[in-house]
Amino acid sequence: MADAEVIVIGSGIGGLVAASLLARYGKSVVVCESHVLPGGAAHGFSRRGFHFDAGPSFFCGLGEGPSLNPLRQVLDALEMSLETIAYDPLGEYHFPDGTFPVYCDRDRYHDEIARVTPNGAAEYRQLERRLGKLYKGMRQIPTLALRSDWQAIPFLAQHYPASLLKLLPIAGLTQKTVGEIMDTCVRNSWVRRTVNLECFLLSGLKAYGTIAPEMAFMYGERHHAKVDYPRGGSAAIVQALVKGLEKWGGELRLRTHVEKILVESGQVTGVRLRNGETLKASIVISNATIWDTYRKLLSSHHLPPAYRKEALELPRLNSFMHLYLGIRAQGLEDLRGHHVVVLDNTMDINVPGNTCMVSIPTVWDPSLAPEGYHGIHCYTLEPYKSWKLDAQYEERKQRRSQSLYRALDKIIPGIRDRIEFEMVGTPITHERFLRRYQGTYGPGIPPIQGIFPLNQTPVSGLYRVGDTTMPGIGVPAVAASGILCANSLVSPQQTWQLLQDVGLA
């Protein structure tokens, strides 16, 4: 007797989307989450009255209004909604040579670039026009209609023939990197640096490492949909997905670490938990990273050796140093919520410690901190390899967090005098609390090295979702991976019915 039709390992956004959609399709689903809180990188946690987003805090199109965000489509399918707070400007880029405000409103954004470089603004508009063609193409077909098996094209040909035809002229553009497109229209060094930075923020790689549709989606959504923050933080997104899962009959088990994926004669049969219990199911979906799934969860003999080797060699991005602060807010009335600080122009933006991301969500949602205080999350890339839990750990932690303080000082001078609460996270913290191999941000696959793996694996009944599958890193992307996986496990007719129910047919 099976314990469920589908077991999902992990409650990251990718896992929750796959699980809740499958529950919506009528399957019995159990999600096993190792941590005490759901959400993976997107979980929220509280300390001394401050509520922090562990990771993501930049979102678009979650609330009302037009949006291509796949997560919104999933929430609609689950009949769940989120209360969101729209804001503009989106934040500030702090370069050593000056601070640049980033507006979602396209004209304001162009005006700000023109203040720095009129010629560059004209070139940037050309880049935007080219990427805009891709974004227009993406609007033709809802992500909720996509699947990752052979039935994808016949399904689209049957239900979206006109849209497919409209996509033909831009098919070539979808294969290009942002760098290649930028080379055709942008020479200005200020604009090139800014575009490289924006690609890096999105994919962890600069313009030549970022595939054009990814950037087209980001630019398009930034200007067309609202940039909005869920009231209650990223945890509110997770809560909505968990509620949606349960509403449609699925189950989430927290503190339930999966030790092994069980396979007999090439077919998945279930999972074994750390407490020794076995859960049976003929479909298992792993939301753990590809490295965790194939190194730890699946015994090596279940995979063809060449496939396993190639999978484990997928290029990996660094981990992070994190700083979570609670500070006194007096005199900071004009503070903006997002900041990116580049400390040194002579170093590459991807050098660990040089580019620091700062999020102050209490600017939009003051309920996330005690009255009169702000909560801050500041982070930068950090290699995993030099980190050990040894006698020098605490000292190294303080030393390596200094660049984060230097970055924060540019936004809030004298910030150390305001601190009420401080918590420093290292790659070891990231690895431990997100259960991610070496605390990695995710795969960094330059487009010339190939594409992200699909949901399917060589083991019958075993699937994967999350940021080590197509289309990659980021909340909308992992939501898309969950959709692709769930749709591949049901008939095209069921998906068409769902699209009709949601009003996307």
Ligand X SMILES: Cc1cc2nc3c(=O)[nH]c(=O)nc-3n(C[C@H](O)[C@H](O)[C@H](O)COP(=O)(O)OP(=O)(O)OC[C@H]3O[C@@H](n4cnc5c(N)ncnc54)[C@H](O)[C@@H]3O)c2cc1C
Minimum CB–partner distance for residue 505 and ligand X (Å): 27
Minimum CB–partner distance for residue 410 and ligand X (Å): 19
Which of residues 134 and 279 has its CB atom nearest to ligand X in the complex?
279
Residue 355 touching ligand X (CB under 6 A): no
Q: Are 314 and 290 in contact (CB under 8 A)?
A: yes
Could you tell me which residues are beta bridge partners of residue 92?
101, 339
Rounded-to-integer distance, Cα 343 and Cα 172, Å: 37
Do strands 84-86 and 319-328 pair parallel, antiparallel, or not at all (unpaired)? unpaired
Which residues fall within 8 angstroms of residue 484, CB to CB, at 6 or more apart? 146, 147, 148, 454, 455, 469, 470
Q: How many CB atoms lie within 10 A of CB 392?
A: 10
C-alpha angle with apex 53: 88 to 412, nearest 5 degrees?
60
Burial of 5 (0-12, 13-18, 19+ CB in 10 A): middle
Select the residue interacting with ligand X from 6, 21, 29, 42 (CB under 6 A).
Answer: 42
Task: Give, rounded to a whole angstrom, the gap between the first and last alpha carbons of the chain.
Answer: 37
Minimum CB–partner distance for residue 185 and ligand X (Å): 27
Minimum CB–partner distance for residue 57 and ligand X (Å): 5
Which of residues 207 and 288 has its CB atom nearest to ligand X in the complex?
288
Which of residues 133 and 253 has its CB atom nearest to ligand X in the complex?
253
Strands in 205-254 per DSSP E: 228-230, 251-253
Residue 437 touching ligand X (CB under 6 A): no
Select the residue interacting with ligand X from 21, 29, 32, 368 (CB under 6 A).
Answer: 32
Tell me, residue by residue from 293 to 332, as one string, x for binding to ligand X by CB under 6 A and - for no binding.
----x----------------------x------------
Select the residue interacting with ligand X from 44, 179, 361, 466 (CB under 6 A).
Answer: 466
The DSSP output letter for 359 is: E
Minimum CB–partner distance for residue 340 and ligand X (Å): 11
C-alpha angle with apex 475: 334 to 132, nearest 5 degrees?
80
Select the residue interacting with ligand X from 7, 11, 22, 285 (CB under 6 A).
Answer: 11
Tell me, residue by residue from 374 to 413, as one string, x for binding to ligand X by CB under 6 A and - for no binding.
-----x----------------------------------
Residue 290 touching ligand X (CB under 6 A): no
Tell me, residue by residue from 48 to 67, as one string, x for binding to ligand X by CB under 6 A and - for no binding.
-------xxxx---------
Stretch that binds ligand X, among 83-91, 167-175, 323-331, 436-444 (CB under 6 A): 436-444
Residue 110's alpha-carbon distances to 4, 72, 181, 383, in angstroms, are: 53, 28, 19, 36
Minimum CB–partner distance for residue 295 and ligand X (Å): 11
Residue 435 touching ligand X (CB under 6 A): yes
Minimum CB–partner distance for residue 425 and ligand X (Å): 9
Residues 179-198, interacting with ligand X (CB under 6 A): none
Rounded-to-integer distance, Cα 170 and Cα 489, Å: 29
Residue 439 touching ligand X (CB under 6 A): no
Residue 15's alpha-carbon distances to 24, 339, 430, in angstroms, are: 14, 29, 19
Minimum CB–partner distance for residue 273 and ligand X (Å): 8
Which of residues 160 and 229 has its CB atom nearest to ligand X in the complex?
229
The DSSP output letter for 391 is: T
**How many residues line the site for ligand X (CB under 6 A)?**
37
Residue 228 touching ligand X (CB under 6 A): no
> Closest by alpha carbon to 235, among 442, 59, 431?
59
Select the residue interacting with ligand X from 40, 91, 137, 471 (CB under 6 A).
Answer: 40
Minimum CB–partner distance for residue 158 and ligand X (Å): 30
Strands in 37-148 per DSSP E: 44-47, 50-53, 84-86, 91-95, 98-102
Select the residue interacting with ligand X from 227, 258, 262, 376 (CB under 6 A).
Answer: 258
Which residues fall within 8 angstroms of residue 350, CB to CB, at 6 or more apart? 200, 205, 206, 381
Select the residue interacting with ligand X from 467, 486, 489, 499 (CB under 6 A).
Answer: 467
Which residues fall within 8 angstroms of residue 457, CB to CB, at 6 or more apart? 303, 463, 464
Minimum CB–partner distance for residue 334 and ligand X (Å): 22
Which residues fall within 8 angstroms of residue 136, CB to CB, at 6 or more apart? 220
Residues of this chain that bind ligand X (CB under 6 A): 9-15, 32-35, 40-42, 55-58, 257-258, 287-288, 292, 297, 320, 379, 434-436, 441-442, 466-467, 473-475, 478
